[in-house]
Amino acid sequence: MTVRYTSIVSNRELSAIDRLLAGANDALRTIAAPAGRPARDNPAGLIKEPKLSASQKSHAAGLMRVNHAGEVAAQALYKGHAAVARDTSIEQQMQEAAAEEFDHLAWCEQRIQELGEEPSRLSPVWYAGAFAIGAASGVLGDKWSLGFIAETERQVVEHLDSHLDGLPVEDARSRAIVEQMRDEEVEHGQNAINAGAADLPGPVKRLMRITARIMTRTAYWV
Ligand SMILES: [Fe+2]
Ligand SMILES: [Fe+2]
């Protein structure tokens, strides 16, 4: 007797499952420490570890934990946008930005550990929230999702500038990382504008600012 096996999963369903698994893999790779090897060298390179007081050290670690949480959210945002992007060149741009953001994530994690602390325990929350926001704004259409990215990156640059003011001057290792991240976030924002980002309505920008404030204040401590 011959037994015929019929596939209970269609090709279309398979590719949906593939995408889901790839998405879950991205999420785990982002949330679970260690993040894995960054594609590029850590900008702190061979800069000497500074002598910091206990309070300077924990302040620097807190700020780097905030930056790390921001990078967890950036991964999720870009992946969320890429998942629903309509234009393939925009999807490609999102994936490239996500790859650079992944280096930022890994560099921040390395620095937090050098400072003797751990990344935010709430990383899964930051990831899930940002993925949902990314996908939701992507569903509205590429020009809005690009607008969202441009505004996010603009606010992130402001943040990083404030961190450069707040980090101990002696902590050249953290500063080198934040400076390079800052330059690349400017570029991400500009790329989104060049690709046709719409200017978001004022209330949306304000809501984004409030959400970011909640995340940054929490991640400094936990
Ligand atoms: Fe980044
Ligand atoms: Fe960025």
pLDDT at 170 over 70: yes
Could you tell me if 142 and 85 are in contact, meaning their C-beta atoms sit under 8 angstroms apart? yes
Q: How far is the CA of 101 from the centre of ligand 2 (A)?
A: 6
Task: Give residue 104's pLDDT.
Answer: 96
First to last CA, the chain: 63
Name which residue leads in pLDDT, 186 or 37: 186
Confidence of residue 21 (pLDDT cuts 50, 70, 90): low
Residues whose CB falls within 8 Å of the CB of residue 5, separated by 6 or more in sequence, listed in order: none
C-alpha distances in angstroms, 140 versus 89, 127, 204, 208?
Answer: 17, 20, 14, 17
Give the pTM: 0.85
Ligand nearest to the CA of 186: 2
| Distance between Cα 5 and ligand 2 center (Å) | 48
Rounded to 10 deg, the angle between the 54-84 and 142-166 helix axes is 170
For ligand 2, a single-atom ion, which residues have Cβ within 5 Å? 185, 188
Interval between CA 203 and ligand 1 midpoint (Å): 24
Which of 11-15, 127-131, 138-142 comes out lowest in average pLDDT? Answer: 11-15
